[in-house]
Amino acid sequence: MTTATEPGTLSAAQLLDLYEEMAVIRRTEKAIQDLFLAGFVKGTTHLAAGHEAVAVGASAALRDDDYVFATYRGHHHAIARGATPEECLAELMSRATGVCKAKGGSMHLTKAESHMLGSYAIIGAHLPMAAGAAWSAMLRGTEQVAVAFFGDGATNIGPFHEALNLAAVWKLPVIFVCENNLYMEYTPIASVTAVPNPAADRASAYGLTGEIIDGNDVQVVYDAVLQAARRARAGEGPSVIEARTYRHYGHSRTDPAKYRPEEEVAEWMARDPLTLARDRLTALGVAGEEIDRVDSRARQLVSEAVDAAKAAPEADPAEALTDVWADGSATWRT
Amino acid sequence: MADVTTGNGAVTYRESVAEGIAREMRRDPTVVCLGEDIGAAEGVFKTTVGLFKEFGGRRVWDTPISEQAIVGAAMGAAMTGLRPVAEIMFSDFLACCWEHLAVEIPKVRYMTGGQVTVPLVVRTANGGGLGFGAQHSQAVENWAFTVPGLKIAAPSTPADVVGMMASAIRSDDPVVFFEHKGLFASKGAPAPPDHVVPLGQARIARGGDDLTLVALASTVPTALAAAERLAGEGISAEVVDLRSLIPLDMRTVLASLERTSRLMIVEENPYQGGWGGTVASIVADEGFELLDAPIRRVASECVPLPFADRLEDEVIPTVDRVTDAVRRLASY
Ligand SMILES: Cc1ncc(C[n+]2csc(CCOP(=O)(O)OP(=O)(O)O)c2C)c(N)n1
Ligand SMILES: [Mg+2]
């Protein structure tokens, strides 16, 4: 995983690595949309195209053993924390090789072996869990940090407030990262929230400072999370980061997102996190061809992942009755 | 109550809760407690007496009134190497964290394809009989019973409290541990050292030949008292204490019916959606030939719990109601 020691000091090589991760996520999301429309992906999807810099920038600033909790819009976090596009695509296509054995689906991508502890589909539920993981790290003295990523919509539900208060009172090493994409499902967050900055403006109620950052700039996200993680490891308690970003697709499935003004969409599309990273790379002297090579490598990786996932066997029906209990069984009676 | 031992050395159900937790905390440094008023105040029901003193603030944590944060944090901690024991003061308040208890904790292992385990215990004071009124008296064990992925313990004696607490805390699966409010003051033989009662093992609380009374938690002493009365009338009732609802020990129930051929289920949760419905359906499916009479259920009436004792007695199964019902079943 890419790491730099000081804010603002990502080298060209490091930034190029992050660019590649973002390109892989972008390609994966595009592939998922195509596979959904072609009937390969059942149920629903919540694509994170447009949010890549939040996941990749944050992940790069974390230790490998830090804990990450995400939402149903979590493909980018799973991949940023080590799940492969192939096992994610296989999961979405109901294959036996899926990262959750096809028992989770798009909304529950999880990669526990790399401490990505799940994607949760009930708004706000995972913020207390992240606080609990941070509490556990504190008690075990491991200096691990836990991060909860959540949407702007989550700031209006109880567990957000309970988690921030508990984390503040117990001085937990947890970072709350709001991916503010300006909308909940179809409703602008501003029209249902009493303060302009849904996460950051609430932080002060819990004695915390809320930082508002450009969530489309991977360097900026990296810096903010690096600082927050340092504070957490130093015993200085939780942080609230509100990363402003925008989704490129609709809320889910085939939502055309017609409720968003055209000028707003155009403005944010011009600030695509991949474009911003490309600009930074160019400024650092990286040649356009080199970035293009990385782009085509990402495209190639994802296209191979799609083929492999398609070729994988369907989920095994016997799996439906396993994994309820820790002994692997689903037995509930004698 | 027939199940009360009054001899020397008898302990209360209430002190056995703290004793059970303390034994596990001594044995395993990853066991930590959290809940409202459980630390220096030692719990509103005094079920955590001595824990804060012995283990200190790094093992016993007072929380804000934040049921979702309590249970949600317990879940996060359980996924990352601790064995949290969370207290929800009254089981009615499980509704405040039902999201975590019903939708997160029991599902996360399954929906991740077995990637994570959630070894936690949620303890809670359950049930009526103390006149706390409609919002502090419900027997809600059937709420948990409707959710695949939760283990459910509901001990009826002080020794079982200790032995089942050991199993619950050592379990790698999430356990909802119902402590019955009406039993806190009851006494019984203390648990021997290293006492462990596996979850899913019912106990024959009293042997009998004429019919089987299946009971849980508070209805165990009720059933035992009824059986005692009926013995004087020449009716020999066997009382099975289920001890836990999940795993559900149907083998013991069916084995008892092989001898008695008559089944009555005594449950404190409402008839409507009560756990006895599942016990009855399994017996109808798998034990039909064993039966000489219809299966009967004595459960709470399908109303909110009223406040006055005389009204509460109309709703919750009492020794009188159980005794009457048994007489009718025995003569069927
Ligand atoms: C408790 C709860 N209420 C409602 C929903 C339905 N729902 C799913 S996504 C969503 C919008 C969430 O918006 P936000 O938190 O901003 O996240 P985003 O989808 O924008 O990433 C809603 C209302 C839910 N999943 N959980
Ligand atoms: Mg949103």
A324, A329, A331: best to mutate for the B interface, most B CBs within 10 A: A324
Q: How far apart are CA A252 and CA B266, in angstroms?
A: 48
Residue identified by tokens 């209360």 is B12
Cα angle value B74/B75/B81 (rounded, 5°): 85
Tell me where in chain B the CATH 3.40.50.970 domain(s) lie: 7-188
**Domain, as residue range, for A53:** 2-315
CATH for B7-188 (3.30.70.420, 3.40.710.10, 3.40.50.970, 3.60.150.10): 3.40.50.970
Q: How far is the CA of A237 from the centre of ligand 2 (A)?
A: 26
For tokens 């690096």, the residue is A226
**A321 in any annotated domain:** no
CB contact under 8 A, B69 and A101: no
Question: Ligand 1: residues whose CB is within 6 Å?
Answer: A 46, 73, 121-123, 151-154, 181, 183-185, 251
In angstroms, the first-to-last Cα distance of chain A is: 48
Q: Which of B203, B108, B126 is nearest to B163 (CA)?
A: B203
- Residue A9 belongs to a domain: yes
Cis peptide before B247 (omega within 30 of 0): yes
pLDDT 10s per residue in chain A (334 long)?
344 556 678 999 999 999 999 999 999 999 999 999 999 999 999 999 999 999 999 999 999 999 999 999 999 999 999 999 999 999 999 999 999 999 999 999 999 999 999 999 999 999 999 999 999 999 999 999 999 999 999 999 999 999 999 999 999 999 999 999 999 999 999 999 999 999 999 999 999 999 999 999 999 999 999 999 999 999 999 999 999 999 999 999 999 999 999 999 999 999 999 999 999 999 999 999 999 999 999 999 999 999 999 999 999 999 999 999 999 999 999 9
B136 is catalytic: yes
Tell me which H or E stretch contains A21.
Answer: helix A12-37
Q: Which element (helix H / strand E) includes A242?
A: strand A239-244
Task: Classify B123 as helix, strand or coil.
Answer: strand
The nearest alpha carbon in chain A to B67 belongs to A162
Annotation: CATH topology of B203-330: Rossmann fold (3.40.50)
CA distance A82 to B22: 40
Q: What distance in Å separates the CA atoms of residue A101 and residue A317, rounded to the nearest whole number?
A: 11
Is residue A187 assigned to a domain? yes
Distance A260 CA to ligand 2 centre (A): 12
- Asked if residue A330 is part of any domain, the answer here is no
Q: Write down the pLDDT at residue A2.
A: 43
Nearest CA to ligand 1 atom 21: A151
Q: pLDDT above 70 covers what percent of chain B?
A: 98
pLDDT digits (tens, 9 = 90+) for B162-207: 999 999 999 999 999 999 999 999 999 999 999 999 999 999 999 9
Q: How many domains does chain A have?
A: 1
Angle in degrees, CA B237, B238, B240, rounded to 5: 140
Q: Tell me if chain A has a CB within 8 Å of the CB of B102.
A: no
Q: What is the DSSP letter of B267?
A: E
The average confidence (pLDDT) of chain B is 97
| Rg value, chain B, Cα | 19
Give the minimum alpha-carbon distance from A112 to chain B in angstroms, rounded to a whole number: 6
Is A111 among the domain residues?
yes
Q: Which atom of ligand 1 is nearest to the CA of A251?
A: 19
A290 domain-assigned: yes
Residue A326 lies in a domain: no
CATH assignment of the domain containing A223: 3.40.50.970
Question: How far does A110 lie from chain B, in Å, by closest CA?
Answer: 6
**Residues of chain B numbered 283-322 and touching chain A (CB < 8 Å):** none
Domain assignment of residue A228, yes or no? yes
CB–CB of A163 and B69 under 8 A?
A: yes
Side chain identity, residue B322: V
Chain A residues whose CB is inside 8 A of the B114 CB are 101, 322-323, 328
